[in-house]
Amino acid sequence: MRPIALFLAVLSFAVAALAAADESHRVSMDKNLFTPKLLRVKPGATVEWVNDEKRTSHSVFFESEKLAESQRLFPGESWKRTFDKPGSYPYRCGPHPEMVGIIEVAP
């Protein structure tokens, strides 16, 4: 009986660890703002940016990383990125450079 209980305990911790690594988070793009402006996540988390505007398009641009800008996101559209490495990831909207945010990744 004890080996089964130990196995179940180990299995539950493994499932919890996998779930934490696969966390999803949402950033709203509305009124020319990213909300939340600062998002703290764990390594392995996926962030989804959703355009909640009624008429305006936005993008997500990690300029300091020299990554390509996301496609233009029209109302109701979204874009995702997974963050595997700890660090601070500032980003902005391509067509609206005053629209800024930061993703902080830490264990």
Sorted by sequence, the CB contacts under 8 Å of residue 45 that are 6+ apart come out as 21, 22, 23, 24, 25, 82, 83, 105
Determine whether the annotation assigns residue 25 to a binding site. no
Determine whether the annotation assigns residue 29 to a binding site. no
Determine whether the annotation assigns residue 96 to a binding site. yes
Determine whether the annotation assigns residue 99 to a binding site. yes
Q: CA torsion sign, 63 to 54 to 81 to 103?
A: positive
Q: Which residues are annotated as a binding site?
A: 58, 93, 96, 99
Q: Which residues are annotated as a binding site for Cu cation?
A: 58, 93, 96, 99
